[in-house]
Amino acid sequence: MLLMPGPPPPPDPPLDVLAPNPITTDPRKRVFAYEEEHEDWVVRLVWDADDPELLEAECRAPLYGQRLSKTDVPKFWTAVKALIAPLGPLPVESADPRP
């Protein structure tokens, strides 16, 4: 049997809670996500196997034209830190300027 060299297989998700989140417009992409509900908002973690160094954390709330309240921002980051704790401390490369 002769094997041709090729690209390595994509890595596994960094967290066990991340589940496949297929993209209907591009079934080749391997995207994983996890959502955790809180009071009036949802924490969503998204990881793409094509960019394994990036783990996104989103705060989803039905806020139209307004910002997340100042009391909810620390709660969001506390929830994110609890979810990513198994990975150890991670750098925050950017954050939405409109918390």
pLDDT in tens, 9-21: 778 999 999 999 9
Across 76-89, b (16+ Cβ under 10 Å) vs e yields: bbebbeebbeeeee
Give percent above pLDDT 70 in the chain.
94
Question: What would the two tokens of residue 37 be?
Answer: 């509900």
The pair of three-digit structure tokens given for residue 90, joined into one six-digit string: 């991670």
The confidence score (pLDDT) of residue 55 equals 93
Rounded distance between C-alpha atoms, residue 49 and residue 61, angstroms: 26
Strand-pairing partners, residue 19, are: 33
54 pLDDT more than 80: yes
The per-residue pLDDT for 98 is 55
